[in-house]
């Protein structure tokens, strides 16, 4: 009976929600906008929700039984420490390396893979700040924007991509330090809100300081990267182009392959640095700070400078990624660095499992790659996104690949 | 008599209208265990928080004179600098380990400042230079020795939070010792331990005093610990010092008995209480 009551309640709520969302519709007609009513959809929605809820309620005892039975086969020892084989990561990197050489490596796939790799790199960069140091940052796209605009503005003065790459990272890190210094004494939610605000400030400045940033029109004709000084164009007066040097016919795919390898290299550097720095004293201090700041102070660790170092490193990688983004697009505008961008990057980190490098790759493919492949279904993207989030929170509340690998082991022989 | 290590002069700590510590003066000496006892709310932990920089004292001076020279005005130093420069380490009343990190990692975090310098602020470490690898190996070796001393060598790669309570207490002491302190402040290290573990703790603390030659400050309610191992006991009540001396002197001090029992000083102690205070 309780199951029935609950289902009726769910149906009523569905009807209430469906009334404005499904019942009324603004339609474009010859007379301009007109209100169309589809009231027949409301009871339908209510009936579906009622039936679904009732079925779920009736099935609940079986579901519970099934859930109890399931883990019996594998006794679970929750130690929070896991050991993941290294070869998965190496295999993934190798697969990424040879992708352009395989028959699947056409222009379309490489373009999408490049986009995914940008987000993988951003995810790894943010992972340093959020996953390792435990600082919740909601404005990561701002530093991405700083890197992109640093390159775009410098390129107008005649600097090349390779000259600007380190500068972009340094400028983004400088912004990270400037923002971080006053706000890192805040914790958790407060830090998240301040960084959210900073992200908006950067976007609004980019939008309004038209003389410097081009305002809403953005900056266009940003130069493409060259291959050791050789431009990747059909012809270039005064320069030996890439295809002339290697004496091969010109093809626009060459440029795309170069871009792909550049971002792959950048992403792998990000990965190596974060894997390595985790095992260094500063990485362990980030871990420790995330777990207990008071204990850290009692051990003589300077919380401010330790957090700042995580912030600066993470934002530097955002700057590198931004520089690459600018050169790949050839055009940037403030639109590319909205809050949703920060949210997607954070979602990649959280979904992948905080601090997990492989998880970030999986989540980036899931959140950025799949929507690119299923562009025809774009209107259902947000439903899928929301659904995926709910499922993950239900089944893997700590992210796809959760669990922490110790940074060092004393008893090397023992398997954990 | 050993040279003074920590001199507390006229320390006062007020929280609004509440006077937690009132004009407290005491001296802790090198290579001695100084016990600090007192009824609940006497200001013992507040005193610790002042010494270790978690609170800034309202008035008074805390001067640390380590055996290797120099003087540190602790009342004017920031929390983490007291641990880093003046080398005062502490443990907490409610254990504060890094529960998700392994036992070994906990001890390595304690050696952060030395390793950080060795890794040239991560640059040398990032490239895996030999000087850093050597420093890290030394740090691991030091951790291993401490783990052997507290009997946790086998658990080195387990998360610290999964250890039994008594082991977590010992690990916290070892972690504090890994910072190479000149003064170790222990806030109720025996709380929650069973009698056997308490005895082991006594041995550990005496061993630390013996081998590391440092001063220890000890807050404890467990009289079987305080009275047995302290060289010197200070009794606080309502933030002020009401007695000080050897355990034997303090045990018979009428002020102490009054503070603890509210009894008339002429009245003999009940047998149970006398036993609790450690009188054989």
Name the B residues in 161-180 with CB < 8 Å from any A CB: 161-162, 175-176, 179
Does A388 score more than 80 pLDDT? Answer: no
A276: contact with B, CB 8 A cutoff: yes
A107: contact with B, CB 8 A cutoff: no
A249: contact with B, CB 8 A cutoff: no
Give the pLDDT confidence of A89-126 residue by residue, as tens digits. Answer: 788 888 888 887 777 778 888 888 999 999 999 999 99
Domain ranges for chain A, please list them.
2-67, 84-395
For the residues A333-345, what does the mean pLDDT come to? 89
Q: pLDDT-based confidence at A389, cuts 50/70/90?
A: confident
For the residues A3-12, what does the mean pLDDT come to? 87
In terms of residues, how long is chain B?
A: 280
Nearest CA to B36 out of B240, B276, B199 is that of B240
Write out residues in chain B with pLDDT < 50, as ranges. 280
Does A22 score more than 50 pLDDT? Answer: yes
| Contact: B109, A301; criterion CB under 8 Å | yes
Residue in A79, A185, A297, A300 to test binding to B, most B beta-carbons within 10 Å: A300
Does A133 score more than 80 pLDDT? Answer: yes
Of the candidates A81, A299, A409, the beta carbon closest to that of B112 is on A299
**A196 Cβ neighbours under 8 A, 6+ residues apart:** A138, A139, A339, A342
| Contact: B109, A288; criterion CB under 8 Å | yes
Closest chain A C-alpha to B280 CA, distance in angstroms? 38
Ranking A73-87, A161-175, A294-308, B7-21 by mean pLDDT, the lowest is: A73-87
The pLDDT value recorded for residue B272 is 65
Measured between beta carbons, the chain A residues lying within 8 angstroms of B124 are none
A280: contact with B, CB 8 A cutoff: yes
Q: Is B168 exposed, middle or buried (0-12, 13-18, 19+ CB in 10 A)?
A: buried
Closest chain B C-alpha to A269 CA, distance in angstroms? 12
The pLDDT value recorded for residue A77 is 41
**B176 Cβ neighbours under 8 A, 6+ residues apart:** A298, A299, B89, B90, B91, B110, B184
Give the pLDDT confidence of B132-176 residue by residue, as tens digits. Answer: 888 888 889 999 999 998 888 888 888 889 999 989 999 999 999
B15: contact with A, CB 8 A cutoff: no
B80: contact with A, CB 8 A cutoff: yes
CB of A280 closer than 8 Å to CB of B120: no
Of the candidates A79, A298, A406, the beta carbon closest to that of B90 is on A298
Does A38 score more than 50 pLDDT? Answer: yes
Give the pLDDT confidence of A310-324 residue by residue, as tens digits. Answer: 999 999 999 999 999
Nearest CA to A166 out of A184, A147, A140 is that of A147
CB pairs under 8 A between A and B: 139
The pLDDT value recorded for residue A140 is 92
| Contact: A410, B147; criterion CB under 8 Å | yes
The pLDDT value recorded for residue A416 is 39
CATH fold group of domain A84-395: ABC transporter involved in vitamin B12 uptake, BtuC (1.10.3470)
| Contact: B144, A410; criterion CB under 8 Å | yes
Residue in B102, B119, B124 to test binding to A, most A beta-carbons within 10 Å: B102
Beta strand B183-187 with B88-90 is parallel
The pLDDT value recorded for residue A393 is 78
| Secondary structure, 3-state, chain A | CHHHHHHHHHHHHHHHHHHHHHHEEEEEECCEEEEEECCCHHHHHHHHHHHHHHHHHHHHHHHHHHHHHHHHHCCCCCCCECCCCHHHHHHHHHHHHHHHHCCCCCHHHHHHHHHHHHHHHHHHHHHHHHHHCCCCCCCHHHHHHHHHHHHHHHHHCCCCHHHHHHHHHHHHHHHHHHHHHHHCCCCHHHHHHHHHHHHHHHHHHHHHCHHHHCHHHCECCCCCCCECCECCCCCCCCCCCHHHHHCCCCCHHHHHHHHHHHHHHHHHHHHHHHHHHHCCHHHHHHHHHHHCHHHHHHCCCCHHHHHHHHHHHHHHHHHHHHHHHHHHHCCECHHHHCHHHHHHHHHHHHHHCCCCHHHHHHHHHHHHHHHHHCHHHHHHHHHHHHHHHHHHHHHCCCCCCCCECCCCCCCCCCCC
């Amino acid at each position: 009976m309780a199951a029935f009551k609950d289902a009726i309640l769910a149906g009523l709520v569905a009807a209430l929600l469906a009334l404005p969302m499904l019942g009324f519709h603004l339609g474009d007609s010859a007379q301009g906008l007109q209100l169309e009513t589809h009231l027949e959809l409301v009871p339908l929605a209510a009936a579906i929700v009622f039936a679904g809820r009732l079925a779920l309620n009736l099935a609940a005892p079986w579901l519970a039984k099934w859930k109890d039975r399931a883990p019996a086969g594998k006794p679970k020892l929750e130690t929070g420490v896991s050991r993941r084989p290294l070869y998965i990561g190496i295999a993934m990197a190798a697969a990424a390396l040879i992708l352009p050489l395989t028959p699947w490596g056409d222009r379309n796939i490489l373009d999408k893979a490049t986009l995914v790799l940008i987000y993988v790199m951003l995810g790894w960069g943010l992972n340093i700040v959020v996953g390792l140091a435990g600082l919740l940052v909601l404005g990561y796209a701002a530093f991405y924007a700083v890197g992109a605009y640093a390159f775009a503005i410098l390129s107008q003065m005649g600097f090349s991509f390779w000259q600007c790459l380190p500068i972009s990272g340094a400028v983004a890190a400088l912004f990270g330090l400037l923002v971080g210094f006053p706000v890192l004494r805040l914790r958790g939610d407060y830090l998240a809100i301040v960084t959210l605000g900073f992200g908006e400030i950067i976007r609004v400045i980019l939008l309004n300081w038209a003389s410097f940033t081009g305002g809403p029109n953005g900056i266009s004709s940003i130069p493409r990267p060259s291959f050791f000084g050789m431009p990747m164009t059909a012809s270039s007066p005064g320069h030996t182009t890439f295809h002339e040097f290697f004496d091969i016919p010109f093809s626009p795919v060459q440029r795309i392959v170069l871009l792909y390898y550049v971002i792959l290299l950048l992403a792998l550097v990000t990965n190596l640095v974060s894997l390595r720095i985790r095992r260094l004293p500063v990485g362990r201090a980030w871990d420790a700070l995330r777990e207990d700041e008071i204990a850290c102070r009692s051990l003589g660790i300077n919380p401010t400078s330790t957090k700042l170092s995580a912030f600066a490193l993470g934002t530097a990688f955002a700057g590198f990624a931004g520089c690459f983004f600018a050169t790949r697009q050839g055009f940037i505008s403030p639109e590319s660095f909205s809050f949703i961008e920060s949210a997607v990057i954070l979602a990649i980190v959280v979904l992948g499992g905080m601090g997990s490098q492989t998880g970030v790759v999986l989540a980036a493919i899931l959140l950025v790659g799949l929507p690119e492949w299923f562009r025809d279904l774009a209107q259902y993207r947000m439903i899928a996104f929301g659904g995926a989030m709910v499922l993950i929170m239900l089944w893997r509340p700590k992210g796809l690949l959760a669990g922490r690998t110790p940074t060092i082991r004393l008893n090397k022989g023992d398997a954990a | 008599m050993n040279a003074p290590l920590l001199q507390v002069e006229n320390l006062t700590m007020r929280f609004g209208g509440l006077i937690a510590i009132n004009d407290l003066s005491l001296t802790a000496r090198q290579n001695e265990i100084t016990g600090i006892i007192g009824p609940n709310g006497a200001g013992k932990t507040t005193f610790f928080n002042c010494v270790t920089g978690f609170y800034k004292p309202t008035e008074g001076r805390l001067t640390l004179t380590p055996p290797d020279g120099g003087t540190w005005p602790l009342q004017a130093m920031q929390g983490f600098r007291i641990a880093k420069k003046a080398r005062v380490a502490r443990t907490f009343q409610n254990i504060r380990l890094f529960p998700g990190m392994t036992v070994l990692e906990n001890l390595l975090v304690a050696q952060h400042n030395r390793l950080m310098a060795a890794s040239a602020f991560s640059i040398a470490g990032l490239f895996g230079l030999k000087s850093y690898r050597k420093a890290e190996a030394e740090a691991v070796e030091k951790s291993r020795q401490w783990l052997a001393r507290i009997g946790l060598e086998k658990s080195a790669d387990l998360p610290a939070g999964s250890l039994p309570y008594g082991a977590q207490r010992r690990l916290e002491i070892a972690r504090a010792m890994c910072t190479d302190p000149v003064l170790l402040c222990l806030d109720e290290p025996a709380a929650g331990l069973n009698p056997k573990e308490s005895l082991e703790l006594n041995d550990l603390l005496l061993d630390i005093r013996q081998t590391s030659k440092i001063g220890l400050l000890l807050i404890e309610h467990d009289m079987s610990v305080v009275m047995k191992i302290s060289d010197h006991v200070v009794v606080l009540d309502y933030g002020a010092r009401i007695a000080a001396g050897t355990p034997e002197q303090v045990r018979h001090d009428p002020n102490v008995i009054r503070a603890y029992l509210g009894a008339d000083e002429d009245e003999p102690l009940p047998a149970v209480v006398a036993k609790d205070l450690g009188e054989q």
